[in-house]
Structure 1
Amino acid sequence: MIRTRFAPSPTGFLHIGGARTALFSWAYARRHGGSFILRIEDTDLARSTPEAVQAILDGMGWLGLAHDEGPFYQTQRMARYREVIAEMLAAGTAYHCYMAPEELDRLRDEQRAQGLKPRYNGAWRPEAGKALPTPPAGVAPVIRFRNPTDGVVAWDDLVKGRIEIANAELDDLVIARADSTPTYNFCVVVDDRDMDITHVIRGDDHVNNTPRQINILRALGVHEPLYAHLSMILGDDGQKLSKRHGAVSVMQYDDQGYLPEAVLNYLARLGWSHGDDEVFSMQQFCEWFDLDHITPSAAQFNTEKLNWLNAHYLKRAEPVRLAALVQPRLEARGVTVNATPALGAIIALHRERVANLNELADAAAPFYVDVQPQAELLAKHLTPESLPALADFITGLPDVDWEAAAIGALIKESVARHGLKMPKLAMPLRVLLTGREQTPSVDALIATFPRETVLKRLALAG
């Protein structure tokens, strides 16, 4: 059975690159009827926080990337890690190293001064016929993995192709610190083994960790999973995606009014393709997704494309659903949503014209709060030429059928009687009702308001 995992470190929010990794891992498991495991790699006690864990869970929940197993927390598996370390010590694949940190720092400084790659020199590594130093008093040892010294460690990366690293380039990795806490690379190996992970899909910043992890797995007598390392995501400007590019937290996209299905659809196309298909459901994505069509080159984020996708999904979403998403945004602005007009009707009127939920909330607000049009707009549109037609239109409002077609007919009659073109009346109506020059069709706009509200606001023309 295919078993994938998403294993974030809870040292911050779920960023967009991590969300793409989670999506690809989730989709691959779904495509093959496998299992998707969520693992929280929280061994960095100084930086891991409960708030960051919750941010990851919130982001996964908002995107709808449900895990089949977990979340598993590494801090709750310490006894298991120590058990495996004891087995490795007994087997001779790990050993105690008493080199003090300051001694290791001096060694590395000397190596750099000589133009050498800084690395541990194997001083405490057991070898046949080698006499080890006497352990110094009062020094707690670290535990190092006894890495092979010859040959190469190689794997066929499912994205990047064949990768080979000479073992001579790898020193003996610390797998447990002096305080006995296991290190990241070791915990990952034990977790992947115990959880029967078959495919590791992760960012290419982990490529350098992979040869070390493969060697540890082989020392444990376990065949390594298949690896697929995803290239980085660049910002709109072609630079590495970072905080300065704006919204990098998944939940910031929620705050900015994006729908999760738009973000998922966009992420799916960020480094992967299925022909020329641009818009597709997650069900289709899971049916199509494979690792063969992931590009090994960096993917570039395109905010305009994301906005286009979000507008596409807004147009097709049910107004009732959108109303449930927009109402809290209105309430956060201090706007109370009344029963009349119905928020769903307002959304149905405006959703073709907006790019996100926040713009929908902005468009809906004038229906529930008093509008004070800017003096400049009033002066611009309430001209001596337009005022007689406006007064004519207002006179007919109390008796007109309150639906768009009848209101539209009344507008046409008013402008015709005064020899005007439609905008000469439509623009004053828009400004008086919403305080804006840009709105949907003015007859539909008016019909969405209660009649008494329209009469009250048009009275400002006075």
Structure 2
Amino acid sequence: MTSSPSGVRVRFAPSPTGMFHVGNARSLLYNWVLAKQSGGTLVLRVEDTDAERSKPEWVQGILDAMAWLGCGPDEYEGPLFQSAFVQHHRDAIDKLLAAGRAYYCDCAREQVVGRTGSEHKGYDGFCRERGLASAPGRAVRFRVPDEGQTVVRDLVRGEPTFDNATIEDFVVARGDGSPVFLLANVVDDMVMGITHVIRAEEHLPNTPKQQLLWQALGHEPPVWAHAPILVNEKRQKLSKRRDRVALEDFRAEGYLADAMRNYLMLLGWAPSGDREIVPWDDIMNEFRLSDVNPSPAFFDVKKLRAFNGEYIRAMSVEEFISACQPWLRGEFAPWRPGDYDEAAFAAVAPLAQTRVAVLGEIVPMVDFLFLPEPPSDEAAWAKAMTGEAVGLLGEVVAAFETVAWDTDSLKRTVEELGAARGLKLGKAQAPVRVAVTGRTIGLPLFESLEVLGRERTTNRLRAAITRLG
């Protein structure tokens, strides 16, 4: 492995067993920022030893998610695959056995529970002094020191201290000889020269065991930093079965990478000046692991959405138009490709930019421009097409045949016709909006009509009158 000029080497070690969790994204960002600040190296290690659940498409998903966040291939070393280091894992097990720091065990779980009388007391050390040799079905357990304490020096949590007497002799190799994740993780970090391990709080209970392994294998433990867990509005740890946690889903909805990065960095850390919308360069300069709050951090989707809206509004119109193209030209656009009109979208883009919080919302905002007929929404129709609607629509379509086709003239026409029937502009324009756009809310109506054009507007108004009978 190559060394870094500063000597700092951090790693991001996801498993290719599912979608890219926002918690993983936050861990990636913390590691990446530290590597960039120190002139060090970020190592991407794919922990793929769970052969049944690991899939190549999930590996590609990891690479794609990292690239979307801005951490492209030139930003890290790798990917390296844990499965390529199995011989190192086995060598470490042999070293522990030879040094008397590990021993073979043939105890079944049921036997341990029978001796201790509890499923929660852990292993009782029954095979410690039996001197068993290697044999099929015999696991290898690490011999935890009987006395003393293991102190974990953590940049976020201070010095959590664990009595060795409370740590069971844990398994480092299964009965079939395969190393467990706990040991493989430590050996990989040793081989790769990792100096700082930055990960989520959920890994903290395993840290004293891993630190004991580092020491038993003759290495100085890394610098530890355990970031706070992410929780939902009920203060429950985020769950992929219950909560929205897949980075791919947020990307597909139209969240911006810059907004996501900014928001995730604030889950446990705060910049100077009571700010929340923070340029990435400022984050790079100010972030310190020692400033991370160890308390659980609330992953608030509503707040993330608000962040995203701020970032969208900060774009230039040209940037916004470009960012919307995957939704306007992609396979999920509800209109035929040839019906998309670049000039029409460019005309309404400034209006839409102030009204969407995620880019995916652009489709229902502008679909009336590109569909042959307006969307059909029975609830919108029932709400708007009441009272004076029929008569008003007839008068509007007649006036629209000859009125100057610009926003001010269209608005003035509807306003005057509505006033003659005792209707304020909001009430008067409601049936016109639904007849033309299919919805009760959306872009400013008269600017939209100007872009849609006289012929399509009047045709839709006549179709509405016919439907109303």
What is the TM-score with the length of structure 2 in the denominator?
0.85
Secondary structure, counterpart of 2:290 in structure 1: coil
CA distance in 2 between partners of 1:76 and 1:380 (Å):
71
CA distance in 1 between partners of 2:377 and 2:54 (Å):
50
User: Is 1:71 equivalent to 2:79 in the alignment?
Assistant: yes
- C-alpha distance 101-347 of structure 1, shift in aligned 2 (>3 A): farther
Q: Which amino acid is the alignment partner of residue 199 of structure 1?
A: H
2:3 corresponds in structure 1 to none
2:234 corresponds in structure 1 to 237
2:113 corresponds in structure 1 to 108
2:401 corresponds in structure 1 to 395
Q: CA deviation at 1:235?
A: 0.7
- C-alpha distance 380-288 of structure 1, shift in aligned 2 (>3 A): farther
- C-alpha distance 417-196 of structure 1, shift in aligned 2 (>3 A): same
1:97-126 per-residue CA deviation (whole Å, 9 max, x = no partner) reads: 0x3242x5312332135x98221415245x
CA distance in 1 between partners of 2:210 and 2:175 (Å):
21
Q: Which amino acid is the alignment partner of residue 100 of structure 1?
A: D
- C-alpha distance 422-274 of structure 1, shift in aligned 2 (>3 A): same
CA distance in 2 between partners of 1:299 and 1:378 (Å):
44
Is residue 31–residue 288 contact of structure 1 (8 Å, CA) maintained in 2?
Answer: no
Secondary structure, counterpart of 1:348 in structure 2: helix
Q: CA deviation at 1:69?
A: 0.8
CA distance in 1 between partners of 2:324 and 2:120 (Å):
63
User: Is 1:195 equivalent to 2:192 in the alignment?
Assistant: yes
CA distance in 1 between partners of 2:193 and 2:87 (Å):
19
CA distance in 1 between partners of 2:88 and 2:133 (Å):
27
CA distance in 1 between partners of 2:246 and 2:300 (Å):
16
2:366 to 360, 364, 371: 364
1:99-156 per-residue CA deviation (whole Å, 9 max, x = no partner) reads: 3242x5312332135x98221415245xxxxxx45648x5454333343332211122
Is residue 139–residue 174 contact of structure 2 (8 Å, CA) maintained in 1?
Answer: yes
Is residue 323–residue 344 contact of structure 1 (8 Å, CA) maintained in 2?
Answer: no
1:285 corresponds in structure 2 to 283
User: Is 1:447 equivalent to 2:444 in the alignment?
Assistant: no
2:463 corresponds in structure 1 to 460
Secondary structure, counterpart of 1:292 in structure 2: helix
- Pairing of 1:252-401 with structure 2 (within 5 A): 252-275=249-272, 276-317=274-315, 318-328=319-329, 331-333=332-334, 335-336=336-337, 337-339=339-341, 341-369=343-371, 370-371=373-374, 372=376, 374=378, 375-377=381-383, 379-380=385-386, 383=389, 386-387=392-393, 389-397=395-403, 400=404
Is residue 103–residue 143 contact of structure 2 (8 Å, CA) maintained in 1?
Answer: no
Is residue 128–residue 143 contact of structure 2 (8 Å, CA) maintained in 1?
Answer: no
5+ residue gaps, structure 1:
126-131
CA distance in 2 between partners of 1:288 and 1:425 (Å):
54
Moved more, 76-85 or 293-302: 76-85
- C-alpha distance 379-134 of structure 1, shift in aligned 2 (>3 A): closer
User: Is 1:154 equivalent to 2:151 in the alignment?
Assistant: yes
Is residue 400–residue 454 contact of structure 2 (8 Å, CA) maintained in 1?
Answer: no
- C-alpha distance 362-27 of structure 1, shift in aligned 2 (>3 A): same
User: Is 1:39 equivalent to 2:45 in the alignment?
Assistant: yes
Q: Which amino acid is the alignment partner of residue 279 of structure 1?
A: I
Q: CA deviation at 1:321?
A: 2.2
1:261-295 per-residue CA deviation (whole Å, 9 max, x = no partner) reads: 22222212112111411112333222221112211
2:54 to 27, 48, 51: 48
Moved more, 81-90 or 186-195: 81-90
- C-alpha distance 116-295 of structure 1, shift in aligned 2 (>3 A): closer
- C-alpha distance 328-80 of structure 1, shift in aligned 2 (>3 A): farther
What is the TM-score with the length of structure 1 in the denominator?
0.87
Q: CA deviation at 1:297?
A: 0.9
User: Is 1:118 equivalent to 2:122 in the alignment?
Assistant: yes
CA RMSD of aligned residues (A): 2.9
Moved more, 146-155 or 216-225: 146-155
Is residue 329–residue 361 contact of structure 1 (8 Å, CA) maintained in 2?
Answer: no
Is residue 204–residue 229 contact of structure 1 (8 Å, CA) maintained in 2?
Answer: yes
User: Is 1:431 equivalent to 2:434 in the alignment?
Assistant: yes
Secondary structure, counterpart of 2:111 in structure 1: helix
Is residue 352–residue 365 contact of structure 2 (8 Å, CA) maintained in 1?
Answer: yes
1:129 corresponds in structure 2 to none
Q: Which amino acid is the alignment partner of residue 41 of structure 2?
A: S
User: Is 1:84 equivalent to 2:92 in the alignment?
Assistant: yes
CA distance in 1 between partners of 2:462 and 2:330 (Å):
30
1:435-454 per-residue CA deviation (whole Å, 9 max, x = no partner) reads: 11212222211122244322
Q: CA deviation at 1:414?
A: 6.0
Paired residues, number: 448
- C-alpha distance 425-393 of structure 1, shift in aligned 2 (>3 A): farther
Secondary structure, counterpart of 2:211 in structure 1: helix
- C-alpha distance 116-325 of structure 1, shift in aligned 2 (>3 A): closer
Secondary structure, counterpart of 1:350 in structure 2: helix
5+ residue gaps, structure 2:
1-5
Q: CA deviation at 1:411?
A: 5.1
CA distance in 2 between partners of 1:65 and 1:72 (Å):
16
CA distance in 1 between partners of 2:455 and 2:193 (Å):
67
CA distance in 1 between partners of 2:47 and 2:385 (Å):
62
Secondary structure, counterpart of 2:386 in structure 1: helix
Secondary structure, counterpart of 2:289 in structure 1: coil
